[in-house]
Amino acid sequence: MEQRDVIVIGGGIAGLSFAWHATRAGQRALVLEATPRPGGCLDSRRVGAGSAAYWYELGAHTCYNSYQALLEIADATGLGALIRPRGEARKRFALLRDGRLTTMGPLSVFRQFSWWQLAGSLLRALFSRKRPGLTTRAHFSRLVGADNYQRVLAPFLSAVPSQAVDDFPASGAGSLFKKRTRRKDVIKTFSFDGGLGAVVDKLAGLVETRTGAVVSALRPRADGDGGGYQVELADGTALGARAVALAVGPATATRLLAPAFPALAAPLGRIATVDVDSVGVVVARSAVALPELAFIVPAADIFWSAVTRDPLPDPTRRAFAFHFRPGHSQDERLACITRVLGVPADALEVVHTRSTTLPSPTLGHDAVVAELDRGLAGTRLALTGNYFAGLAIEDCVARSKAEWTRVATTT
Ligand SMILES: Cc1cc2nc3c(=O)[nH]c(=O)nc-3n(C[C@H](O)[C@H](O)[C@H](O)COP(=O)(O)OP(=O)(O)OC[C@H]3O[C@@H](n4cnc5c(N)ncnc54)[C@H](O)[C@@H]3O)c2cc1C
């Protein structure tokens, strides 16, 4: 049986960063990734070659100088030299309401509010006791008014995780908002030369990564067989390791853990998930009349958001990644894209698709995470990913670092 010190299941940013910490600590770590491409939600699509080369993000797109765990890796690996600031277009976006696109900046969002409702709600909030444990909808409805929340804030907030955020916890694990300390020596919002795929390429080059490796089972090994864990692939290959990190979504982790680790599978199974269908298109710059902007948010439509590459502009092309609600056909999605961009179907020079399953945290997520951490204590089994503190890249990388530290010090 193949043997490693550490096996990491899942080659997204959570798995790659966990494996990077293990490798840096001198461990023989192997990442097993089911698809032909590592990176998971970090999915920079490359088009053309040489001077015609172009890239855009079909998944995650933006990092911030508060991403300290990611920046630690960037500093240590030379990735820091590839950091590229996001340009002026990052400050503009468009709201699509009743078929009309209105371009705006961050402050114009407030102009969409009913001021009477805002003033009344703020006054009431000021004189009433702050209540912990609220949903995002309850928290913001209390601050800005229920109608202001539903009509103005909810579409913008839901555009961030490509799903309805009404039932997300307003604070604590799983919430959209976190206080993070910024690194003053790093530009506030950035990507990398070649997109976030540069992070994937760098890490996958530094840690042993096997693609097309679908993990189908995980079990503890008896001490007589060397202890640790046994990982089985769908093709029947078995591998052994002293430590294993599961860096897959909660549904897959539940399925892999249920037979041998039911106490971990039970809380994991309580984390809901949603599907997001993304379609990315590349068009000639001259084909689209839209001003340069970072994203488009619909008040009500079949998509949650459309993210552009305009903050890192290209002289000849533009790209748009539309993130759709589930249940629509590709024809419906393409019709939506051409309608919003105001272009004919043959203007779409490149079309890419991807499907993502994202966690959907609800009230009580703190307790789920605490239960998982209690179940993991004292083991060399690690759980990491975007269903602990939150969905952001930094939440994944910080969790991986903390989990590696715990596993490395567990005897
Ligand atoms: C459209 C979109 C835009 C986003 N934008 C941003 C952003 O701008 N900034 C930000 O900070 N965050 C953003 N996020 C969130 C962030 O990108 C993700 O939450 C994060 O990248 C998830 O990383 P992960 O490693 O936990 O999971 P994933 O990226 O989902 O990786 C899990 C990996 O496990 C693999 N896998 C699954 N099952 C198995 C198996 N049985 N065996 C082996 N491998 C398996 C999968 O193929 C996948 O590669 C965005 C997310 C999406 C979807």
- What's domain 2-46+189-269+362-408's superfamily in CATH? FAD/NAD(P)-binding domain (3.50.50.60)
Among 22-36, 79-93, 103-117, the least confident range: 103-117
In this prediction, what percent of the chain has a pLDDT beyond 90?
Answer: 91
Phi, psi of 279 (to 5 degrees): -130, 125
pTM of the model: 0.97
Q: Which residue has the tokens 């690690």?
A: 382
> Is 33 a pocket residue for ligand 1 (Cβ < 6 Å)?
yes
The pair phi, psi for residue 24, each rounded to 5°, is -65, -30
Q: Please work out, in degrees rounded to the nearest 5, the angle formed at the alpha carbon of residue 384 by the alpha carbons of 382 and 385.
A: 165
**391 CA distance to ligand 1 middle (Å):** 9
Q: pLDDT class for 206, splitting at 50, 70, 90? A: very high
Confirm or reject: Cβ of 162 under 6 Å from ligand 1. Answer: yes
Closest ligand 1 atom to residue 61 Cα is 8
Residue minimizing CA distance to atom 13 of ligand 1:
60
* Cβ(239)–Cβ(210) below 8 Å: no
* Percent of the chain residues topping a pLDDT of 70: 100
Residue pointed to by tokens 């409805």 = 141
How many Å lie between the centroid of ligand 1 and the Cα of residue 358? 8
Alpha helices in 78-114 (DSSP H): 108-111
Task: Give the model's pLDDT for residue 130.
Answer: 77
pLDDT value at position 125?
Answer: 85
Judge contact between 138 and 362, C-beta under 8 A.
no
Give residue 40 CA to ligand 1 midpoint distance, Å: 4
